[in-house]
Amino acid sequence: MNTPSPYETHSASDIKRYAEEYRDSRIFTLERELAEAKEREEEGDAVCKKLSDLLARVAIALKGEPPDMTLWSFHDLPELVATLAIENAILKEQKGDTNADV
């Protein structure tokens, strides 16, 4: 016994309706996924901006105000902080106070 194909058991209008429903469902899903992706992108952008602002403030705190129309680079901040920590430790040792910050 042969199993009839869907085309034999459903009318053309049924098949068209199913196709339209599938298309509409897929469009809805894609629109929702796009909205979620945009939201994640906005959240990521906000985090990047917040961290960039934080690094800019750290650079200014360590290096002073930058020249007009420029920004400090962040690439050397870890080395600068490490150098300052060593200098701080040396100063504490010279003062004979290993517990207080300089």
Residue 20 has a pLDDT of 94
Q: What is the pLDDT of residues 5-54, one digit of tens each?
A: 656 678 889 889 999 999 999 999 999 999 999 999 999 999 999 999 99
Contacts of range 70-77, beta carbons closer than 8 Å, 24 or more positions apart: none
First to last CA, the chain: 92
Residue 73 has a pLDDT of 93
Q: Output DSSP code: residue 95.
A: H
Residue 96 has a pLDDT of 85
Q: What is the mean pLDDT of residues 47-65?
A: 96
Q: What is the mean pLDDT of residues 64-93?
A: 94
Handedness of CA 60, 62, 65, 68 (dihedral sign): negative
CB 34 within 8 A of CB 49: no
Q: What is the mean pLDDT of residues 46-64?
A: 96
Q: What is the mean pLDDT of residues 64-85?
A: 95
